[in-house]
Amino acid sequence: MRYVLITGAGNGVGKATAKLLKDEKLLLVDSDEKNLKKLAQDLNAEYFACDISNVDKVNELKAYVEKNFAKLDTIINCAGVWTKGEISQLSDKHFAEINTLEKIKDVLDTNTFGTIAMITTFAPILMKNKKGQIINVNSQSGVETEEFCPVYNASKHGTYYYRKAIQRDLAKHNVKITDVCPGLIKTDFYVRNNDKLPPEIMKLGLAVEDVARTIKYVFDLPHEITIPSIEVRNIKNF
């Protein structure tokens, strides 16, 4: 049994991943405490409500882990925030509403800073244990330049290149790290971020279970085998 911390566990890919890994010792993390608590009860798992963009909350989470999860084995970073819209579209009411400076900051704080904060905070525990694994749910926006979502694109490129920059250092301490980069996913991720996509677009997406199975594939590999980055998408989404 492995001790696994999953962020973004209250919804979407994080929730689906938690269900697949229910036989492990789970610590589920999300800012959505209502959904998080219910899932933790269903899976007989522990949970901790935390906004990973908030320094104080991440430090509180660290204290909780150090007290209860000294044998932390795996970190799975699923938490994320979405927005889209090109600069030339900001005169449109919808795009203006989802690209306020506060929203842009939220996207960067959660997707980029939040992921880096989790790794910076908890990788030392894995390194101290001389073995560990980190899996980041990145995006096709982290490996491609997608003009329709420049802020989201920037946030995911940031963590993609952060992972590339640290993986050699982590490997020296027997800790491996992988970016799972899915394309469009059939989830309420977009609705929760005030940007419902049309049905003809959503039908091209992956099921959350497909992404979770990809995460589990990476999770189940022998420790000496590492995949730096893996892309996954619906075959119709090209």
pLDDT for 50:
98
Chain segment 41-71, per-residue pLDDT in tens:
999 999 999 999 999 999 999 999 999 986 8
Q: What percent of the chain has pLDDT over 70?
A: 100
Residues 6+ apart with CB under 8 A from 23: 1
pLDDT for 69:
83
Does residue 232 surpass a pLDDT of 90?
yes
* CA 202 – CA 198 distance, rounded (Å): 6
Chain segment 213-225, per-residue pLDDT in tens:
999 999 999 999 9
Chain segment 188-213, per-residue pLDDT in tens:
999 999 999 999 999 999 999 999 99
Q: Which CATH number is 3-232's, of 1.10.3720.10, 3.90.1150.10, 2.60.40.350, 3.40.50.720?
A: 3.40.50.720
Residues 6+ apart with CB under 8 A from 10: 28, 30, 31, 32, 33, 34, 35, 36, 39
**What ranges do the domains of the chain cover?**
3-232
Does residue 76 surpass a pLDDT of 90?
yes
Split at pLDDT 50, 70, 90, the class of 184 is very high
Split at pLDDT 50, 70, 90, the class of 11 is very high
Residue 176, SS3 per DSSP: strand
Split at pLDDT 50, 70, 90, the class of 238 is confident
Q: Does residue 85 come out as left (phi exceeding 0), alpha (psi in the -120 to 50 range) or beta? A: left
Q: For the purposes of burial, counting CB atoms within 10 Å of the CB of 145, is it exposed (0-12), middle (13-18) or buried (19 or more)? A: exposed
Residues 6+ apart with CB under 8 A from 58: 50, 52, 117, 118, 121
Chain segment 95-131, per-residue pLDDT in tens:
999 999 999 999 999 999 999 999 999 999 999 999 9
pLDDT for 71:
87
End-to-end Cα distance, the chain: 38
